[in-house]
Structure 1
């Protein structure tokens, strides 16, 4: 995945995005001052947004936002959405709400907003994420909507999105280890950064948390005076007879299982529902049912059933794509694959590539005894990635047989060259950058 949309593209926004990469020597430099300066010069567009639901956490942010968008749109609401990173094209980060469903920002609107921010910034140091967040706020402020679902980029306390002083509600999804080089070396330290989005008097939902993270989040909420709804205490979720049962102080709601695969999505759905019930207390069960049944979020246990890459795999192969890239994400992904194995046994092959900064060994460890083998592939793009040989060596050290491959295509051809008594189940995971590359190569980018 590149910051730019596609090879050979020459849309106006691409050229501006490329220039914006050079405005700060660091890709990540967590601070609010540079963006606050630019927003003042732009006329404070962040003060002219629809009600904001601010979402932080380690895993599940994007899925939770996808659930909330689908439910709100099923209720007839128009919903802006800001997420990151993108998978194939930058435009995926900005969805403009409109009645009947939103749309990804088009190139003309994006280029106009980026040009304005570039002009007003006048070459001053600012990170790529900060200036593109300013452009998103300009777009959201100029287009009416009922809500803005706003995802934290990294951490929370000094993330660029935390210039929003008074959101309508906050949601913090499960907190675990990720980005220790920026957020801290322990779960409590990371939780403190995530808790930075909590505001006085702003209701907040805490998704299902580790005890050590929950303690920090609750303490910060008490300190700032943020009323809480806590998963497992104030609301609950369970599966019964192929249905999803949500429960809070107002009673039970009988719902269909989410369209998004995996038991972890039940918890994400619960956090989304709890958050929406804070801002839309009269939300009807029909909107919840329709929303859960129609939620779409690419590269989160996404089944690839057709496309260029699918055609390279052995006939009848199941191919699943996920962006899990840390220990906790790998754990829930492995559980989802184990559940699928129990229902319909097949040999599982993990096709993976990872970034150098990630704990690859911990990710691979989650699949020991579950994956028959690992096919290690490169991750292309602007981020430092481990070589396939390095990933394969780590997998072998964890007791999972592994082979280094030159590409995802060569990994699938490698499988096709073998005889299978039962077509394999292939899981491609390890990085959102890898997931984006797969969707591009497969010819099935997010729409």
Structure 2
């Protein structure tokens, strides 16, 4: 096989699971207890299959990387349900602002999940996606090493890494080879058994807002979810969390005591600028405040004493240059305004509505949610309730799919699971739900994102401008961004 970017993506896709595991392990593996005996707040677990942390250290050793190599990355580890990516992006921006003034950190790695438009979004250095040639080079170095006959004999009981494990390994390999001074890591799903959690000595850890998330792996209750998220806490490493509901805070505090760390709960920082566009929602103020605490702890531990604090100019510069596409993002086209947020759970959509500041222009919603794991109908109902509570009237509601272009083209690096219902039937259900909520709204169904955007633009042309909220899924927002702001 030729060592091309396209072939790297094809090989990566072969490592996706075809279905979620259904069986618990009957024996322990590599020091972990049997999965059915893994403790949580109730002493039981719903976690199924082999935890994704299993094999990560062994695979990295095959690649020639030790714990010391990983520790030299100076990791900032972030878990949570809502706001992980934004918090990590704020951390990156603040560190780079400090580095431009002091010389440290000079090079910052960022690993996030999922991607919106391009797999390389998950692995960034400074503010740049890893280039295609570099992704290809490091991917095949990892793939060739782990798929070799010698490696398969050495690590045969683990086989080849699964999709997210492989991406994390490529990211670790990239940041080590590129000698980053700091590496910001967003967990995939949980924390305790997440494939990113083999890091033994992170510099600081952070927990964003926790809600019901990935219940099949982490549930069945919010306390179970919190237990897993707090698994990133490490002895000797400071930990921070945004304010949480009392039952969640109690679990986080108990886990902090178990791991012998001091946990700080971070409210909105009063020194945040009041006019920053990046801080237009309460959620982003919370995420930025957590990022300030994480960066502050990082600098105290790693920077020279004379440069161990962020200055007010660092903060203003970092927030001013903050960018995180598809999350509370505003794109202006004359009098047309697009508000994009990839909210895909009920906690997220409450904040997404804040993004769409009401004006006097016609207001439009473009929505879809297609998943075999989350309830799109409940998500749409929650969104409608939030819109009503914020006194926003939507004149047009457009339901669409994850199909990007009207000509039927798709993206090579996306693989979307769909529910056990036809897509047209699902869109018809969404239309019926909204028709009952607001019989006066104009409700349409478009088979492709491109068609939905064209319909909204047509309204803008007829009415002298429009405001359109695009939300419900990261896949939807990614497809919309591909059309509104194509990648070079």
TM range (shorter): 0.7 to 0.9
Aligned pair partner of 1:38 in 55, 59, 63: 59
Give the structure 2 partner of residue 309 of structure 1.
none
Query: What is the RMSD computed on CA atoms of the aligned residues?
Result: 2.5
Give the structure 2 partner of residue 432 of structure 1.
474
Aligned pair partner of 1:375 in 381, 384, 398: 398
Q: Distance in 1 between matches of 2:212 and 2:222?
A: 6
Aligned pair partner of 2:243 in 200, 208, 211: 208
Alignment of 1:358 with 2:377, yes or no, is no
Aligned pair partner of 1:58 in 81, 85, 108: 81
Q: In the TM superposition, what whole-angstrom CA distance separates every residue of 1:201-240 from its partner, at most 9, and x where no partner exists? A: 21011013222222211111111112111024xxx43xxx
Aligned pair partner of 2:191 in 125, 131, 156: 156
Q: Distance in 1 between matches of 2:247 and 2:360?
A: 36
Q: Determine if contact 2:401/2:448 at 8 Å carries over to the other structure.
A: yes
Q: Determine if contact 2:54/2:195 at 8 Å carries over to the other structure.
A: no
Task: Pick the structure with greater CA Rg.
Answer: 2
TM-score w.r.t. the length of structure 1 is: 0.83
Alignment of 1:180 with 2:221, yes or no, is no
Give the structure 2 partner of residue 316 of structure 1.
335
Structure 2 gap ranges (5+): 21-48, 100-104, 153-158, 301-308, 404-413
How far off is 1:266 after superposition? 0.6
Structure 1 gap ranges (5+): 1-9, 238-244, 247-252, 307-314
3-state DSSP of counterpart to 1:54: strand
Give the structure 2 partner of residue 242 of structure 1.
none
How far off is 1:388 after superposition? 5.2
3-state DSSP of counterpart to 1:274: helix
Q: Distance in 1 between matches of 2:479 and 2:374?
A: 18
Alignment of 1:69 with 2:85, yes or no, is no
Give the structure 1 partner of residue 174 of structure 2.
139
Q: Distance in 2 between matches of 1:209 and 1:11?
A: 47
How far off is 1:433 after superposition? 1.1
Alignment of 1:267 with 2:282, yes or no, is no
3-state DSSP of counterpart to 2:184: strand
Q: Determine if contact 2:456/2:468 at 8 Å carries over to the other structure.
A: no
Aligned residue runs from structure 1 range 48-127, under 5 A: 48=69, 49-76=72-99, 77=105, 78-97=107-126, 102-122=127-147, 124-127=159-162
Q: In the TM superposition, what whole-angstrom CA distance separates every residue of 1:377-434 from its partner, at most 9, and x where no partner exists? A: 0014422246254245235335145432112222233345558556331111111111
Q: Distance in 2 between matches of 1:211 and 1:158?
A: 24
Aligned pair partner of 1:292 in 319, 337, 357: 319
Q: CA distance change for structure 1 residues 70 and 220 in 2, over 3 Å: closer, same or farther? A: same
Alignment of 1:14 with 2:43, yes or no, is no
Q: CA distance change for structure 1 residues 330 and 277 in 2, over 3 Å: closer, same or farther? A: same
3-state DSSP of counterpart to 1:136: helix
Q: Which moved more, 1:195-204 or 1:167-176?
A: 195-204
Q: Determine if contact 1:24/1:125 at 8 Å carries over to the other structure.
A: no
Q: Distance in 1 between matches of 2:116 and 2:188?
A: 14
Give the structure 1 partner of residue 430 of structure 2.
394
Q: Distance in 1 between matches of 2:395 and 2:418?
A: 24
Q: Determine if contact 1:364/1:395 at 8 Å carries over to the other structure.
A: no
Q: Which moved more, 1:326-335 or 1:14-23?
A: 14-23
Give the structure 1 partner of residue 25 of structure 2.
none
Alignment of 1:305 with 2:322, yes or no, is no
Q: Distance in 1 between matches of 2:227 and 2:483?
A: 39
Q: In the TM superposition, what whole-angstrom CA distance separates every residue of 1:239-274 from its partner, at most 9, and x where no partner exists? A: xxxxxx23xxxxxx7675352542211111111011
Q: Distance in 1 between matches of 2:444 and 2:476?
A: 17
